[in-house]
Amino acid sequence: MKSELRTTEGAAPVGAYSQGLVVGDFVYTSGAGPLHPDTGEVVGDDVAAQTHQTMRNLGAILAAHGLGFDDVIKATVHLQELKRDFAAFNEVYQSYFARPYPVRTTVGSDLMDILVEIDFVAHKSA
């Protein structure tokens, strides 16, 4: 059984997908980017600012199910310019988590007018 997560506190989907799905004790988010939830506009000109907005959007989706960053177990990250932006991205990303960090895959991707996109798998802790 799955149920949809939707919140106006995070950027709205721009296609045929859910912001997140709850399946049992797991929450899966779609890839989120640096879009402002009210305007749909890209927030920030650099990867640090865009990562902060992306993390705020993801945090809102998690919060819609009573979860937080401590509940994230897996992250997949896409960076438009992997070599150039990895260090700045990683510094911001790391500030949202405590050890042990979620497992993560980070790849370079051809993103549409944004510098970063992230999706999470989270687990509701007992």
Residues 20-44: tens digit of each pLDDT = 999 999 999 999 999 999 999 999 9
Q: What are the start-end ranges of the H helices in the chain?
A: 47-63, 82-94
Three-state DSSP at 36 gives coil
pLDDT at 126: 44
The whole-model pTM stands at 0.95
- CA dist 31 and 29 (Å) reads 6
Q: Per residue in 95-124, pLDDT tens?
A: 999 999 999 999 999 999 999 999 999 998
- CA dist 116 and 56 (Å) reads 13
